[in-house]
Amino acid sequence: MNLHIFLLLASMVVRSSQLSLSDCAGHVRRPEITDISVECGTSSIGLAIQICPVIYTGYNESLLILNQMWEPACRGTLDETVNPPVVRFNFPLNMTHACGSIFRTTSAAGTGIFSDFSNIQTVNISGAVLSSDPTIGTITYNAELKYFYSCAYPLEYLVNNTQIDVSASSIAVKDNNGSFISTLMLELFSDADYTKPLVIPKLGLELRTKVYVEVKATNLTGQYHVLLDRCYASISPLPTNSSFFNLFVPCSKDQLTTMIENGDSQSARFFFPAFRFIEQQNEKVSTYYLHCITRLCDISTCSSFKQCNTKKKRSTQEETTIGVSEVHTITSQEISTRTDTNQSKEEILATSEHGNSTAGLSVAVGILAFMCFIALCIAAVFYKRLRN
């Protein structure tokens, strides 16, 4: 067995790159804890370790092993196109193909915009790149190298109507933060099959027009489902100091909101009839924006978040005004409805009533004139008889 390991290590050394200390120029030094950079992507994690300190210690890129996984897909590759040169590891965010990384989900009380929720989850993905000493014998003069990495991904997001560019962090020592927000998108449709994007006319939607909403995750590892905790409409794109209307919150929803799918797959769907805000009654078009607080839940725990006891009682207004600038958002279109529909009906009714009143008055005047004419004729007849 030991002979097999020795031959394996020897073959790796032979296949190693030709990079030597003379190629490292001013980067020859002892390893430091800052030699590793971590990129927490939405579908994979990337590691970059400076190779010159590794060579200085007596190793090369083939002797750096990710989580003791010897599979070719988990091996590092030398990148000499950057200065200083690095060895790169890249593996997907999938528990079955993550090269031995440890997945751990933690829960904590929500803060800021999520302060109304008592259980906000974060998944932490961690592991280590260790050196494999090729020395055979009792002692060695090579120091053991250990590079630890950790990526934390929050599983709760506010999906609404203002776009920001999400750039992945690229520098870390032991920990780093990632985000799945770029995998989420909110779309509006006009049909129950969710195939026809909603097109809003310039004059706005007719009131009570059905608006179909879908929040979908793309390029997301299959172990998570999309669960909507709350969706609401507000007059402002950012709901700070803005009137709002809850389409649904945990354990409660508007009577006219219909939930189709939630927490059962990587998309959540519901629909509601178009409405208008009363404070915009003097405007011909009522414009508002849709916001959805979205949770990415592990398949095994999604059902527990649908229970009512996961929500703390707290002012909804306070929830919408705290920490809005701290949440991630993506773009969706504004929703506009016509506010002059009822006004037009009232004008038509008023015109009709005015016309009916005028016609009635004309008839009354005509009858009165006819009666006066008859009275004059009768008076003339009596006058002639009196003279005779």
> How does pLDDT run across 91-119, given as a tens digit for each residue?
988 777 889 999 988 888 777 767 767 67
Instruction: Decide: helix, strand or coil at residue 10.
Output: helix
DSSP 287-333: EEEEEEEEEEEETTTHHHHTSGGGB----HHHHHHSSGGGS------
pLDDT bucket at 388, cuts 50 / 70 / 90: low
The pLDDT of residue 258 is 92
Chain segment 261-277, per-residue pLDDT in tens: 998 999 999 999 988 88
User: Cβ neighbours of residue 291 under 8 Å, at least 6 residues apart?
Assistant: 158, 159, 160, 161, 231, 232, 233, 234, 239
Q: Which residues of 84-101 are buried (b: 16+ CB within 10 A; e: fewer)?
A: ebbbbbbbbbeeeebbeb
Report the percent of the chain where pLDDT is more than 70: 71
Which residue bears the tokens 């004419």?
Answer: 373
pTM: 0.65
Of residues 160 and 276, the one with the higher pLDDT is: 276
Question: What percent helix, strand, coil does the chain show, rounded to 5?
Answer: 30, 30, 40
Cα(45)–Cα(258) distance, rounded to whole angstroms? 38
User: Cβ neighbours of residue 335 under 8 Å, at least 6 residues apart?
Assistant: 188, 200, 205, 211, 233, 274, 287, 288, 289, 290
pLDDT bucket at 220, cuts 50 / 70 / 90: confident
The pLDDT of residue 304 is 80
Q: Are 296 and 224 in contact (CB under 8 A)?
A: yes
Q: What is the largest CA-CA distance in the chain?
A: 161
Specify the range with the lowest mean pLDDT, choosing from 134-138, 191-195, 218-222.
Answer: 218-222
Q: Give the phi and the psi of residue 214 in degrees, each rounded to 5.
A: -135, 130
